[in-house]
Amino acid sequence: MDAIIPPGSDADDGLAFRADAPEHPVGSRITIPVVGIGASAGGLEAFKDLVANLPDNTGLAIVFVQHLDPKHRSQLPEILGRATNIPVLAATDGMGLEANHVYTIPANVDLTIENGKLKLARRAKVPRTHMPIDRFLRSLADECGSRAIGVILSGAGSDGSVGMEAIKAAGGVTFAQDLASAKFQPMPQAAVATGCVDSILTPEGIASELARIGQHPYIVDAERTKPELTDGFDEKRFESILAIVYGATGIDFSLYRQDMVRRRILRRLALRGIRGLAEYSKRLENDSAEMRALQKDLLISVTSFFRDPASLELLKRIVFPRIVEGKSPKEAIRIWVAGCATGEEAYSIAILLSEFLHETSSTFQVQIFASDVRACSRYS
């Protein structure tokens, strides 16, 4: 094997690709949980049902992004204000977010969140399909990490599915409206098809879960609620959970980045309404479905094409020249990408190597092998 591109490691040589990419720091800019809710056709009715069933003191900031006619002023604040006692505001550029408030997207703009504030930009005129929900949810994942909550309600198309993947990858929580209650099914159906939706519920059920999960220590401010985790932050309990997982799956997660592993374990506690690691250990020992869910969370792929430019540049500038140096054109170049997630790393390296060989007028037969730990899992 001429070169092995390893999975994530703590090496400082800049050459490692990470299938378990760094998650966003918990609460790096915002200290309240933020819920991004996307909807299209039939979604307004679903959202009205949702907010009508929310208590006034969830501690959540809720941002509602709906597909709107760009030529007409949105009346969402007035319509929604009649369905809930929670204050409903039209988003403005630079507006800060407060808990127990609902914010709505105005017409003819793209909405994002940056440095703790809502940002508006005039809707770009592009030939491709406008995806305002994906745009907001991706910015929410970047900004809030584990405090991000994504919800997809009734609608046509697939807007929001990419954003849900981003939120799940960042350690947040995701919901989709169940198809039986959705007036238009394609949008929640597309979200569910990503495999990144934690719960599929009616709007009323989502409201109930938001009210519950909004009070869990994993979602709310970690420093403020740390005393509540008296049963949790114990090194031996985390080690015990990883030992249980190893015995069931054959994967040793003690070799993964421990901050990521622990955040994702605590995320499962929040989803299951469990507040302590000892209780969760017992749950894992007796619940194979929860074991599969935890493994899926720990192995979630956080990747994209050409996601680490610095590492790619080092491959092209240092590694590839060394591989071809003194090699006969009759010999094959073989590269193994160990820990390739969904394959973007392998394809990125193939493209980069092809460009290198073209630029250096080199001709070699190339073989690229890609593997991932999922293939070895007993729960795959």
Catalytic residues: 40, 67, 159
CA dist 349 and 239 (Å) reads 35
Calpha distance 145→30 (Å, rounded): 9
Phi/psi at 34 (nearest 5 deg)? -125, 130
Length of the chain measured in residues: 380
Helices (DSSP H) in the chain: which residue ranges?
Answer: 43-52, 76-81, 132-144, 161-169, 186-193, 203-213, 222-225, 235-249, 258-272, 277-286, 288-298, 309-314, 320-324, 344-359
**129, 160, 185, 198 from 157: Cα distances, Å:** 10, 9, 9, 20
Asked if 213 contacts 54 with a C-beta cutoff of 8 angstroms, the reply is: no
Q: Which residues of 200-222 are buried (b: 16+ CB within 10 A; e: fewer)?
A: bbbbebbbbbbbebbbbbbbbbb
φ/ψ region of 107 (left if φ > 0, alpha if ψ in -120 to 50, else beta) reads beta
DSSP code, position 318: I
Q: Quick check: 138 and 163 in contact, CB under 8 A?
A: yes
Q: Which two tokens stand for residue 136?
A: 């907001």
Cα dist from 126 to 45, 118, 147, 226, whole Å: 29, 23, 32, 47
Q: Is 175 left (phi over 0), alpha (psi -120 to 50) or beta?
A: beta
Residue 244 and residue 4 in contact, taking contact as beta carbons nearer than 8 Å: no
Of 17, 80, 25, nearest to 54 by C-alpha is 80
